[in-house]
Amino acid sequence: MALPMPPGLTHAEVAFLAEMEMVTIVPRQRLESIDLLSGQTPPLRPPHRAQLPLWLALLLKKQRRANIVPPPWLHPASLSEIIHRETKENPQTFSPPPPPPAHANPHDPGHARRLADADADTILSPPFQPSCTASAPAGYLPYHWLEVAEALLAHAGDDMAAPAGEVRSLLRDLVEVRAAKMRSSTSVLGGAENGLMELTGVGAIELAESRGFVLGVVDGVRKIGASAEAARREDEEQGSGIHDDGGSDDDMGI
Amino acid sequence: MSYYDIDSILTDAEKIPCTFQLDVPDLGYLDNTPTQTLKTGSRVALPLWLAEMLAIASSSGGLDEQGKSFVTFDLPPALGNDVVQALKADPRAVPLRDQSAHFYGLATHMMDLSEEQELATVLRKTYVTRATEIALHARKVGGVGHHGKSSADEGSNLGVGGAGEEFLRGLDERERRLFRKAHDGAKAGKEWMENVKKH
């Protein structure tokens, strides 16, 4: 069945997936452990903190049975530092994503090793990395930064480290700066034969927003170069030497 | 280009200047001389699909010894030298729609027919530069993102309005569709942000 929607996730779908992220809460009432598909939630014994998925945390917050602890990267100081990094230090690329969790190695003091190396079952993709809990590193934007930040501001604004208005305006600035970077990231396709866009560190909502545009530009460039590409492949097939550099993507094997 | 693709059909309807290589009786009306034969060397503007067929098909029916083609064609005025030079200077200042509503399609088709290395590079650069400009306008047009500091944009919405409309009027079909996609994305983003509270 042909759906009229363009390919990819919509903003609402991305936000829904982001609700799987774990966040730290401070419960106000006792709650027994609940059996969920992904495992059991920890039993809630106030005032001890616990980690729950975002959707459950928001539910408890609405029922006034818990307070959500904002992740360290959502602090105004952290956001300002990230904005500074995006504008002054790395104006071409996005700021790097948070490093994967690491453990100190008792046999090798001073060196940490990544959890993934030790334990093959550790999942390192975004909703399953603990990047929105209270133990996440500050100064790095995780993959679902915008969705989680907006959800926390909307439903748990009073739990923030600073007034929600201040955090919100910093977030808007960050959104603008990164949107401008996303727009200009396609300009690298205009020059060399094989341009690569540097998109490390991009967030989920930003991808959803610019997917149509970026794919359109890439497709357009492909169409413009299609005849030159066909001629080049013909030449290669006939075995005649060409002066064209080619690059590494000609291994389709004709 | 595919057979049923509307853009392909419209692109192929663009006229390009052709020179006839032989006398054709009874076609004189094409050159404003009805009831006379069309002489060799007369230049007529023919649609691309016809010019292509005539140029590539050689007269192998035995009438001509070497099988030379019926017509030879040149680049249409939309892809002429002054346009290419203007694009090299500043791609964003050239209203492509005035040259041809299917500028890129036409250029791509001409490049299929004849080797045009310089045109390919110029066109690629043009497309990418204008794409960035298109994305900028797509974000502005919806009134999106004018909260807070717009450090990367050129100023207020009002200041860019006049020049922006000029630019948007000069977009060809492919660029219009790109603008549509960029604008849809920006609009969806804005709607989502406003509706976060409701979830």
What pLDDT digit, counting tens, does each position of B157-173 carry? 444 456 778 888 888 88
Regarding whether B89 and B45 lie in a shared domain, the answer is: no
Residues 91-110 of A with CB under 8 A from B: none
Whether residues B70 and B87 fall in one domain? no
Same domain (yes/no): B144, B187:
yes
Considering its fold, how many domains does chain B have in total?
A: 2
Give the closest of B129, B149, B199 to A190, CB-based. B129
Do B64 and B85 belong together in one domain?
Answer: no
Tell me, yes or no, whether B199 and B103 share the same domain. Answer: yes
- Grade residue B67 by pLDDT with cuts at 50, 70 and 90: low
CB contacts < 8 A (A, B): 126
Q: Residue B147 pLDDT > 60, yes or no?
A: no
| The domain boundary residue, chosen from B74, B96, B113 | B74
Q: Enumerate residues 6+ apart whose C-beta is below 8 A from B10.
A: B101, B102, B105, B173
Return all residues near A129 (Cβ < 8 A) that are at least 6 apart: A98, A100, A101, A123, A142
Query: Could you tell me the pLDDT band of residue A171, with boundaries at 50, 70 and 90?
Result: very high
Q: b/e string for A120-154 if b means 16 or more Cβ within 10 A?
A: eeeeeebbebbbbbbebeebbbbbbbbbbbbbbbb
Those residues with Cβ within 8 angstroms of residue B130's Cβ, 6 or more apart along the chain or in another chain: B91, B92, B96, B171, B175
CB atoms within 10 A of CB B151: 12
- Section B81-86 average pLDDT: 89
Q: What local confidence, expressed as pLDDT, does residue B151 receive? A: 35
Final residue belonging to a domain, choices B74, B105, B135: B74
Q: Is A187 helix (H, G, I), strand (E, B) or coil?
A: helix
Q: Are residues B61 and B93 in the same domain?
A: no
Q: How confident is the model at residue B146 (pLDDT cuts 50, 70, 90)?
A: very low
Q: Report CB contact under 8 Å: A169, B132.
A: no
Residue in A224, A235, A242 to test binding to B, most B beta-carbons within 10 Å: A224
Q: Give the residue from chain B lying closest to A218, CA to CA.
A: B128
Query: In the predicted model, what is the mean pLDDT of residues B73-102?
Result: 87
If asked whether residues B13 and B84 sit together in one domain, one would say no
Chain A, 153 to 212: residues with Cβ < 8 Å from chain B are: 153-155, 169, 172-173, 175-177, 179-181, 183-184, 186-187, 189-191, 205, 208-212
Specify whether B87 is located in the same domain as B70.
no
Summarize pLDDT for B11-39 with one digit per residue, the tens: 888 888 888 888 888 777 777 777 777 77
Which of B74, B102, B132 marks a domain boundary?
B74
User: Is B95 within 8 Å of B170 (Cβ atoms)?
Assistant: yes
B102 and B58 in a single domain? The answer is: no
Q: Among partner residues B132, B136, B196, which is closest to A151 by beta-carbon distance?
A: B196
**Residue B177 belongs to domain with CATH number:** 1.20.58.2050
Contact B148 A172 (CB under 8 A): yes
Count of Cβ atoms closer than 10 Å to residue A41 Cβ: 17
Range list of β-strands (E), A105-225 = 112-114
Across the interface, of B127, B150, B185, the residue whose CB is closest to A210 is: B185
Structural tokens at position A12: 């609402």
* pLDDT score at A60: 93
pLDDT band at A56 (very low <50, low <70, confident <90, very high): very high
More confident residue, B148 or A30: A30
Same domain, B143 and B177: yes
The reply to whether B83 and B56 lie within a common domain is no
Nearest CA in chain A to B111: A227
Task: Say whether both B38 and B125 belong to one domain.
Answer: no
Query: SS3 letters for chain B?
Result: CCCCCHHHHHHHCCEEEEEECCCECCCHHHHCCCCCCECCCCEEEEEHHHHHHHHHCECCCCCCCCCCECEEECCCHHHCHHHHHHHHHCHHHCCHHHHCCCHHHHHHHHHHHCCCHHHHHHHHHHHHHHHHHHHHHHHHHCCCCCCCCCCCCCCCHHHHHHHHHHHHHCCCHHHHHHHHHHHHHHHHHHHHHHHHHHC
Q: Which residue has the higher pLDDT, B165 or A242?
A: B165
Give the mean model confidence (pLDDT) for residues A25-45.
89
Q: Rounded distance, CA B8 to CA A73, Å? A: 50
Residue A51: its H or E element: strand A50-53
DSSP labels for A155-169? H-GGGSSS-HHHHHH
Structural domains in chain A, sorted by start:
8-105+120-254 (1.20.58.1020)
**CB distance A227–B188 less than 8 Å?**
no
Domain interval for residue B4: 1-74
Chain mean pLDDT for chain B: 79
* Chain A residue closest in CA terms to B125: A190
Q: Which residues of B touch A169 (CB under 8 A)?
A: 147-148
For chain A, give the mean pLDDT. Answer: 82
Per-residue pLDDT tens digits for A121-140: 666 677 777 778 877 788 88
**Per mean pLDDT, which range of A14-23, B54-63, B70-79 is the poorest?**
B54-63
Answer with the residue of higher pLDDT: B29 or A30.
Answer: A30
Q: What's the pLDDT at A57?
A: 93
Q: Residue B41 — left, alpha, or beta (φ > 0 → left; ψ -120 to 50 → alpha)? A: left
Q: Is the pLDDT at B153 greater than 60, yes or no?
A: no
Q: Is the model's pLDDT at A27 over the cut of 50?
A: yes
Please name every residue paired with A53 in a beta bridge, in sequence order, or none if there are none: A22
Q: What percent of chain B has pLDDT over 70?
A: 82
Tell me which of A141 and B26 has the higher pLDDT.
Answer: A141
pLDDT of residue A1: 53
Q: Is the pLDDT of residue A252 over 70?
A: no
